[in-house]
Amino acid sequence: MLFGFGKDRKDGRGGRDDEVENRRVIEWVYSEPDELIYRWPDTNIPTMSVVIVRPGQAAIFVRDGKVYGVLREGRHVLTSMNIPFLDKLAIIPGGKEIATMFKAEIYFVSLTEHQGYFGGKAYAGNRFPVQYSGTYRYRVEKPEVFLEELAGTNADVDGAFITDFLRSTIQSRLLKFIGDLPPKDFTEVLQVQNKAKAFLTTQFEQIGLKLIDLNFSQLTLPPEFERLLPYFSSAETWEQFYQILQMQTLQDMSKNVGSEAGVGMGFGMGMMLPYMFPQPPQFAQAQSAQPAPQMKVCPNCKTQVPQNARFCPNCGYRFEESENKGTICPKCNATVPAGAKFCPFCGTKL
């Protein structure tokens, strides 16, 4: 629970509404460990009431979504003489010269440490799905800033709303943070964790919170992408990562080109590379001004391929076979260029 409403002492928790020396006493007595905010139920506060703020608490006076003042630890008698900001909350009945009542919502805010949880899926480099989860510890540093964020967003501040507010605050910021990380950071969780804490510390300060600690329990790529991690470690930017990956793929293909199985794969992979690892969005935008390449249709599988392509990247069809008959592969019956030692489609030695 992050939020409590005012209740009497009989239910074992909530606030206390007693008459002490003919004065109303307002305080948050029975808070639970996970409670963050407690709202006093009555907005009509008699003058000379006593507000008791316990250690680890702050009492905030709000009206129409605006914070008028904060009371820290201590015993406070509510008069304009003692607390100047109450002048703006005073109600003076007709025919009287002094206020008999203050109109305000009183929120007690816990200043002690609390724990939260986060988790979700972000996209590194706008392409690679990253599953993440963990915990964070925080406390309210500036209660008036924090409550103004809440009250200014939703007049009905309750426990569910506070939970959603905190969850959306950290989730939206982590999505952006993880999405903007350079590739090399994903090889070291501790480095990501430290950067995330530094980033979120500033973000939390803007809403009146202090981030004490943050820990990732999970920061992983799906199994099908884990094979790419070795390339992450040497890339400072996503542009560099794609360049390294494409270069390594071409090198691997060149090593296999002499093998029987590698010849056919080499031709196909060479054409498939741009489709397997398309350029990142910023590359595509930079090249958008260039004229679109001319395309042609593979007569075998109807896939569109570049006009100067010699092989179809989808089915391996050789576009020049109608012009150069060559020989027939005894295994797959494909037309093979004259003088070829291996079939470029199945790798059979001729």
Among 346, 350, 348, 349, CA closest to 268: 346
Residue 90: is its pLDDT beyond 50?
yes
Per-residue model confidence as pLDDT tens digits over 174-185: 988 998 888 888
- Give residue 106's pLDDT: 95
Question: Do the domain assignments include residue 104?
Answer: yes
Question: Do the domain assignments include residue 348?
Answer: no
Would you say how long the chain is, in residues? Answer: 350
Question: Do the domain assignments include residue 38?
Answer: yes
- Distance between CA 158 and CA 5 in Å, rounded? 9
Residues 12 and 101 in one domain: yes
Residues 30 and 127 in one domain: no
- Give residue 15's pLDDT: 53
- Distance between CA 150 and CA 67 in Å, rounded? 11
DSSP-assigned states of every residue in 243-277? HHHHHHHHHHHHHHTTSHHHHHHHHHHHHHHHHHS
In the sheet with 128-140, reading across from the earlier edge strand, the strands are 114-124, 128-140, 209-220
Residue 26: is its pLDDT beyond 80?
yes
Per the model's pLDDT, the better-predicted residue between 216 and 250 turns out to be: 216
Provide the H-helix boundaries in 33-157.
143-153
- Give residue 270's pLDDT: 44
Residues 123 and 105 in one domain: no
- Sign, Cα dihedral of 125, 130, 136, 141: positive
User: H helices then E strands: how many in the chain?
Assistant: 7, 19
- Encoded tokens for 269: 């992979």
- Give residue 30's pLDDT: 73
DSSP-assigned states of every residue in 162-228? HHHHHHHHHHHHHHHHHHH--GGGGG-HHHHHHHHHHHHHHHHHTTTEEEEEEEEEEEE--GGGGGG
- Give residue 93's pLDDT: 76
Residues 93 and 128 in one domain: no
- Distance between CA 313 and CA 305 in Å, rounded? 8
Of 136-140, 161-165, 301-305, least confident by mean pLDDT is 301-305
Q: Is the pTM of this model over 0.75?
A: no
H-run or E-run covering 285: helix 281-286
- Distance between CA 179 and CA 129 in Å, rounded? 9
- Give residue 76's pLDDT: 96
Over the range 154-178, which residues count as b (16 or more CB within 10 Å of their CB) and which as e? eeebebebbeebbeebbeebbbebb
- Give residue 9's pLDDT: 36
- Give residue 324's pLDDT: 45
Tell me the sheet residues that pair with 132.
120, 219
Domain that holds residue 76: 3-110
- Encoded tokens for 7: 């209740």
Mean pLDDT over each residue of the chain, to the nearest integer? 77
- Give residue 257's pLDDT: 56
Residues 91 and 22 in one domain: yes
Residues 119 and 210 in one domain: yes
- Give residue 167's pLDDT: 84
What is the three-class DSSP state of 314? coil
Residues 214 and 125 in one domain: yes
H-run or E-run covering 114: strand 114-124
Residues 188 and 266 in one domain: no
Q: Number of structural domains, the chain?
A: 3
- Give residue 193's pLDDT: 92
Residues 102 and 150 in one domain: no
Residues 93 and 139 in one domain: no
pLDDT band at 269, cuts 50/70/90?
very low
Residues 127 and 217 in one domain: yes
For residue 58, which phi and psi values (nearest 5 degrees)?
Answer: -145, 145
Per-residue model confidence as pLDDT tens digits over 278-287: 444 444 454 4
What is the three-class DSSP state of 93? coil
- Residues 6 or more apart whose CB falls under 8 angstroms from that of 291 comprise none
